[in-house]
Amino acid sequence: MISIKSEREIELLRIAGKVVGDTHHYLEPFIKPGITTAELDKLAEDYIRSRGCTPSFKGLYGFPGSVCISLNEEVVHGIPGKRKIKEGDIISIDIGACWKGYHGDSAWTYPVGKISKEKQELLEHTEKALFEGLSMIHDGAHVGDIGYAVEQYALKHHLGVVKELVGHGVGSKVHEDPDVPNYGKMHTGPVLKEGMVIAVEPMLNLGTADVFMLDDDWTVVTADDKPSAHFEHTVLVTKDGYEIMTKR
């Protein structure tokens, strides 16, 4: 069932989303060659807690980190650790924060120093694909409209669309109904209603759409080792459009 949020719930979700957006903003200057992903994770957790929230992903299904940090060919769910990031990497940071039982969820992919032209284009196109998907949202639209817009944009730019992982509803659980795939057909899937809150999160690859999971049972990587990008916002469905809750 897809829940319609009350005014009170929407207020709590706005606060959680604001902390997620602010955490991204806070972390960005630290994304420099030489820092480890564990250090970034610690900075994120301390910041989230300093705002009175808890990191939504810590312990979620047993995840060991506070945020997910995925480098280059890693698509999502990378576990923070001793690895140092280096010039030319791209780093996807997926952040969740919980305020009084309600969550915000947003991922962003950042360049580390100077990156290749093809990685730069991957980042630009994946961010644009997110906004193409969001542009379909309003009361009465279908979930399939979002996936259709993301997929068509990605295909036009010859990028692989990851299908194994999808966006989702957000509320008192990080992952609620409905699934919000990054592919689909117009006028199919559940109907969006004012007051629903969903996370839209295209994961696009420079090469094949195929992915597999590493032996750590968390990290999802591209099958051809080419880079992948991930951009995500949590949004409130409104009568005429949407409100981004995880704005930076």
Residues near Mg ion (CB under 5 A): 94, 105, 107, 199, 232
Smaller CB separation from Mg ion, 9 or 94:
94
Q: Which is nearer to Mg ion, 136 or 197 (CB)?
A: 197
Which residue, 107 or 206, is less far from Mg ion as judged by CB? 107
Of the pair 109, 187, the CB lying nearest Mg ion is at 109
CB of 106 to Mg ion, least distance (A): 6
Count the neighbouring beta carbons within 10 Å of the beta carbon of residue 192. 24
Q: Which residue carries 């542009």 as its tokens?
A: 135
Distance, CA of 184 to CA of 11 (rounded, Å): 31
Q: Give me the least distance between CB of 117 and Mg ion, in Å please.
A: 27
Smallest distance, Å, CB 186 to Mg ion? 23
Query: Least separation, in Å, of the C-beta of 34 and Mg ion?
Result: 26
Which helix H or strand E contains 146, and what residues bound it? helix 143-156
> Shortest gap between Cβ of 199 and Mg ion (angstroms)?
4
- Find all residues with CB under 8 Å of 231, minimum gap 6, and list them: 107, 108, 109, 126, 127, 129, 130, 201, 202
Kindly state the DSSP code that residue 198 receives in the 8-state scheme: E
If the CB atoms of residues 70 and 205 are measured against Mg ion, the closer one turns out to be 70
Rounded CA separation 110/92 (Å): 6
93 vs 112, beta carbon nearer Mg ion: 93
Minimum distance between the CB of residue 114 and Mg ion, rounded to whole angstroms?
27
**Dist CA 109 CA 123 (whole Å):** 7
CA distances for 69 relative to 51, 57, 84, 104, 170, angstroms: 21, 12, 12, 17, 20
